[in-house]
Structure 1
Amino acid sequence: MKFRNIATAFLMNNDDVLLMERSETNKRMPGFWYGVGGHVEPEEINDPYSAVIREIYEETGLKDYNVENLKLKYMLLRREKDETVINYVYFGRTNTKMVLQNDEGSLHWIPKQEAMNRKFIDVLKLALEHYFEDEKNDEVMVGVMQNEKSTGIKWSTLMNMEQ
């Protein structure tokens, strides 16, 4: 089995969330909605925070000083055929809505209450729902997608064993 590591950011500005609608010509998941992010590079494998900061800049033009309180909130695990996808999902706030468009899709500031009406892959939709239910929760949650016959996710709190 192989592993694919991804870092994703959902950035908030007031009650709007920045989402990317993938291009209809995109090879993977055309027309689906995501946060900004992408693959963790080999030199970032032990530092997904650096990966998500890089991806935010590449996909939006936002620099690190435009992003506040960027925190790891979810580690999502799911299988795709012969690989396990690990997605490190961060949430933060921005001090601007000025973003640059990119060639992977189109960026949109969507009111939080309308965000869930978009077409997401199940694991991201469940993470967003979970986050919006309790945004003040400071725990890092691990979510494991259940088998393909179930459309649920099993949540656990990532515990610090040294405390």
Structure 2
Amino acid sequence: MDADTNTDIKLRNMTSIYISCGTKILLLYRIGSRVVPPSWCGIGGHFEPDELNDPRTCVLRELEEETGLTEKDLKNISLRYVTLKLKDGEIRQNYYYFAELKNQIFSTFLPECSEGVLEWTAYENLAQRRMPYTAGYVIRHYLETGRHTETLYCGTAVPGGISWAELTDF
């Protein structure tokens, strides 16, 4: 993209939540997205206009719409990753949350989802799932590093990976 076209760049803000239960994470095989081809990802979607400064509200709304789960079903909900990727004339900003399921009974419950198919996937099988670009790198980083810290990470998509930095308040 050359300097003349940078004035036409649009923004796309999205959220996603990965819910763990033991050594499994709830994934959605998303079908029919306007942004990514069919692939495995967390639960989430696009911001509504009144949510632009509140990604937590967005991700919780999407979670309830897509699974029927609500905030009361989860514990340790935490924003852990923010990524940026320039794609098709858009800066795609993703807010990735991680949480734990409170009630183990839901770990066998998979509701109908109009966005695709839900599945509890074991940590060791996550690398075999085809995921959107930044989501795949977020999951890899989370398994290797992120799940052992409380750090908020910021990532910029680059060819062949993500350039990670700790996002600190100073």
TM-score, normalised with respect to structure 2: 0.88
Alignment of 1:60-99 (within 5 A): 60-94=67-101, 95=103, 96-97=106-107, 98-99=109-110
Provide Cα deviations, 1:66-106, integer angstroms capped at 9, x if missing partner: 01101000001001121101000000011222242211110
> Is residue 40–residue 51 contact of structure 1 (8 Å, CA) maintained in 2?
yes
Match of 2:6 in 1: none
Match of 2:133 among 111, 122, 125: 122
Q: Distance in 1 between matches of 2:34 and 2:152?
A: 31
The unaligned stretches of length 5 or more in structure 2 are 1-8
Question: Within 2, Cα distance between the matches of 1:83 and 1:27?
Answer: 13
After TM superposition, give the deviation of residue 31 of structure 1 in Å.
2.7
Q: Percent identity?
A: 31
**Contact 2:80–2:151 under 8 Å retained in 1:** yes
1:143 lines up with 2:150 in the alignment: no
CA distance in 2 between partners of 1:26 and 1:89 (Å): 18
Query: Is 1:57–2:64 an aligned residue pair?
Result: yes
Greater helix fraction, Structure 1 or Structure 2 = 2
Does structure 2 conserve the Cα–Cα contact (< 8 Å) formed by 1:72 and 1:91?
yes
Q: Is the 8 A contact 1:123 1:145 kept in 2?
A: yes
Q: Distance in 1 between matches of 2:16 and 2:34?
A: 18
CA contact (8 A) 2:41 2:135 kept: yes
- Name the SS for the 2:168 alignment partner: coil
Whether 1:13 aligns to 2:30 is no
2: distance between equivalents of 1:84 and 1:43? Answer: 20
Task: Identify unmatched segments of 5+ residues in structure 1.
Answer: none
Task: Tell me how large the CA RMSD over aligned residues is.
Answer: 1.3
SS of aligned partner of 2:148: coil
Give the number of equivalent residue pairs.
157
1:155 is aligned with what amino acid?
W
More displaced 10-residue stretch of structure 1: 28-37 or 46-55: 28-37
Pairwise CA distance, 1:122 = 2.1
Normalising by structure 1, we get a TM-score of 0.91
